[in-house]
A and B are shown apart, each in its own frame.
Chain A
Amino acid sequence: MTDAEWIAQFQAGKTAAYNALVQRWQGPIYNFICRYTGNREDARDLCQQTFIRVYRSLKQLRDPDKFASWLYQIAHNTCRDAGRARRLMSLDMLCENDQTPADLLLDPRVYPDAMAHDQGVRDLLNRALQTLPEEQRVVIVMKEYQGLKFAEIAEALDMPINTIKSRM
């Protein structure tokens, strides 16, 4: 079933349809919040808050085809309201001599085994993202990781589409 069909069922009074939507979208929303805030614990809390907000507002959604951008909009607003988008130390501070952040990511000395390397890559990318301004970070996360169209991002952030592109 499509999102629009689940939404129609929910708006007709079937709460189970909302559980199906949650099941489908909790992964993307969690990962979006996780990369946007840079913190897993915060991501779990904010993801739950997001879906609670969506639950309260879904009956008023007039255009179910725009559910994805509407959902990301609520997730983004939830994060901003919580004020948990934090800035971490610059990735450049970790680099030695002529090393670039990309070199740092590929440096095997830092993380000798595969699991530690994955965790290290995740940490470094997280730091790199957190060094970006919030308005740029959210666009990059939505585009690179969530795979949203520029038009959907513009809708979710309520901005002109060229502004979105210029922030990439």
Chain B
Amino acid sequence: MICNVTREQLMDYLYDDGLEVGERDKLTAHITGCPTCTKIVADLTAVSHMLRAWPDETPHLQMVFVEDRQSFVPDIIRHHPWRWAAGAAATIAAILVLSFLNVGFAYQNGMFHASVGFRGEQTDVVESQVDDRERPVTFDELVAAHQQVLTTTQQMIETSESRQRSDVNVALMRLVRDLTEQRQNDLQQVGMGLQAVYSVSQQQDDLVRSLTEQRQEDLQRLRRDMQMIYNQVPHLPNMQTPFLLRERGDSSATPVLPVRNP
């Protein structure tokens, strides 16, 4: 660089980063009059503009950090370890002292006994009469109570079974009643269906009968007409004109030949 402006200063100028007060104006004045610096700044500005043609992208990372698992160590240990240590030491000391004084509690013959004393000694200092409700239970009472429990349980079981039997009977009765009703309905439906079928069949029979009668009448009428025509045409004395009056599928039908009247 010919002038005494450094590249670092030009960077500060270009990005307006780190310039002291008044320094930017001085640099502006210099760059305006210095072709070299003008070109450098112009090139860097062009590169900067070119680079910014690459826009930011939106990432789809979906990162979520969950809560840490809670520590079993109480907060007092983590945040106040010395306070916790002092409390623990006091507790241990108390246990040791009580142990040294040989303090003890016992339940014996229906009475609580509290004792205190140095090791090797045993001095009862407190005795308390136990409430009658808390006295030990005798064996006979235990057996009787057990028997009572068994009896009650047996009664409960029997009651439960009886109720279950009753429920089953009621359910069976309902089922039988429902099935009977269903059967009656079904029979009724079948009867109606048969009646409908019979009715249709009857109609069909009537129709067939009617058609048969109609056919017989038609045949008779045809035969009469043919006879009449044959009689009115005497110039065809020996015409053997078979009139096949065969029904479709009726192989037994025979041709009917006209009979010339004498």
**Chain A: which residue is nearest B52 at the CB level?**
A144
**Is the contact region of chain B dominated by helix, strand, or loop, or is it mixed?**
loop
Is B168 engaged at the interface, CB distance under 8 Å to the other chain?
no
Inter-chain contact A22/B18, CB cutoff 8 Å: no
**Is the contact region of chain A dominated by helix, strand, or loop, or is it mixed?**
helix
Inter-chain contact B8/A144, CB cutoff 8 Å: no
Inter-chain contact B68/A15, CB cutoff 8 Å: yes
Is B25 engaged at the interface, CB distance under 8 Å to the other chain?
no
**Chain A: which residue is nearest B18 at the CB level?**
A150
A40 vs chain B, min Cβ distance (A): 8
Interface string of B18-44 (1 = CB under 8 A from A): 100000000000000000000000001
Segment at the interface with A among B53-61, B94-102, B241-249: B53-61
A132–B81 alpha-carbon span in the complex (Å):
54
Segment at the interface with B among A29-37, A63-71, A78-86: A29-37
Chain A residues lying within 8 Å of B2, measured Cβ to Cβ, are: none
Number of interface residues of A (CB under 8 A): 38
A43–B59 alpha-carbon span in the complex (Å):
9
Chain A residues lying within 8 Å of B8, measured Cβ to Cβ, are: 162, 165-166
Inter-chain contact A102/B61, CB cutoff 8 Å: no
Inter-chain contact A48/B67, CB cutoff 8 Å: no
A166–B18 alpha-carbon span in the complex (Å):
14
Is A121 engaged at the interface, CB distance under 8 Å to the other chain?
yes
Inter-chain contact A105/B50, CB cutoff 8 Å: yes
Is B142 engaged at the interface, CB distance under 8 Å to the other chain?
no
Most buried by B among A40, A151, A162, A168: A168
Chain A residues lying within 8 Å of B63, measured Cβ to Cβ, are: 22, 26, 48, 51
**Chain A: which residue is nearest B50 at the CB level?**
A102
Chain B residues lying within 8 Å of A43, measured Cβ to Cβ, are: 59
Is B46 engaged at the interface, CB distance under 8 Å to the other chain?
yes
Q: Total number of A-B contacts with CB less than 8 angstroms?
A: 78
**Chain A: which residue is nearest B11 at the CB level?**
A165
Interface string of A72-100 (1 = CB under 8 A from B): 00000000000000000000000000000
Chain B residues lying within 8 Å of A126, measured Cβ to Cβ, are: 54
Is A18 engaged at the interface, CB distance under 8 Å to the other chain?
yes
Inter-chain contact B54/A149, CB cutoff 8 Å: no
Chain A residues lying within 8 Å of B139, measured Cβ to Cβ, are: none
B66 vs chain A, min Cβ distance (A): 7
Q: Which of B11, B46, B58, B67 is the one whose CB lies under 8 Å from A150?
A: B11
Is A47 engaged at the interface, CB distance under 8 Å to the other chain?
yes
Inter-chain contact B54/A168, CB cutoff 8 Å: no
Chain B residues lying within 8 Å of A26, measured Cβ to Cβ, are: 59, 61, 63
A166–B11 alpha-carbon span in the complex (Å):
8
With A27-B59, A48-B63, A168-B11 as given contacts, are A149 and B53 in contact (CB-CB < 8 Å)? no
A40–B48 alpha-carbon span in the complex (Å):
22
Chain B residues lying within 8 Å of A44, measured Cβ to Cβ, are: 59, 61
A27–B17 alpha-carbon span in the complex (Å):
24
With A149-B17, A165-B11 as given contacts, are A122 and B54 in contact (CB-CB < 8 Å)? yes
